[in-house]
Amino acid sequence: MRFIANTSDIEKYLGVKINEHHSIKNISTDTRFLKKDSIFFAIKGENFNGNDYVEEALKKGAVIAIADDTRFANSKEEKIIYVKDTTLALAKISSNIIKDFDGKVIAILEVMAKQQQQILFLKHLSILLVPLKTSIMKLVCR
């Protein structure tokens, strides 16, 4: 499966113009863990607003930042892509990646599931993925 490899993928998936293309090695929503050559998605949460960290992300080596705060709407900084909603932009990118994929897709819908639900899900998944059964069960038993 091909994920986001270059800023040209962002250009294609979001329909935006990017003048200078760069390789993308990581995806980040948290500048504390951002690595050089990442794409940064400025997502608003309960306690933090990722838009407040866009400049920090670029200083730390992000090749591009996707932001939805109107202060970036007319930004001269070419590495900042303004969108109306960052989470919708991320969903659009994800949707396009899945459309381009030519295999089977398994969607995990709830990340914050209770531990028992996670174990049940992984047990059922391990039946489908017999070669990975041992690895998955080791993960469950941790």
The total number of residues shown for the chain amounts to 142
111 and 85 inside one domain = no
Owning domain of residue 41: 7-100
What sections of the chain are H helices per DSSP?
Answer: 7-14, 54-59, 86-100, 115-128, 133-141
| Joined tokens for residue 22 | 């760069």
45 and 82 inside one domain = yes
Mean pLDDT, the chain, as a whole number? Answer: 79
Q: What is the pLDDT of residues 56-110, one digit of tens each?
A: 999 999 999 999 999 999 998 999 999 999 988 988 888 888 787 777 766 655 5
Cα–Cα dist 75/82, whole Å: 8
45 and 64 inside one domain = yes
111 and 95 inside one domain = no
| Joined tokens for residue 99 | 């459309």
Q: Is residue 2 part of a domain?
A: no
Q: What is the pLDDT of residues 119-128, one digit of tens each?
A: 665 665 555 5
Average pLDDT of the segment spanning 35-59: 93
Q: Is residue 1 part of a domain?
A: no
Does the pLDDT value for residue 41 go beyond 80? yes
11 and 56 inside one domain = yes
Quote the number of domains for the chain: 2
| CATH value at residue 63 | 3.40.1390.10
Average pLDDT of the segment spanning 125-141: 45
Can you say how many angstroms the Cα of residue 139 is from the centroid of all Cα atoms in its chain?
Answer: 23
Specify the pLDDT at position 134: 44
What does pTM read for this prediction? 0.71
58 and 121 inside one domain = no
29 and 88 inside one domain = yes
| Joined tokens for residue 45 | 């949460």
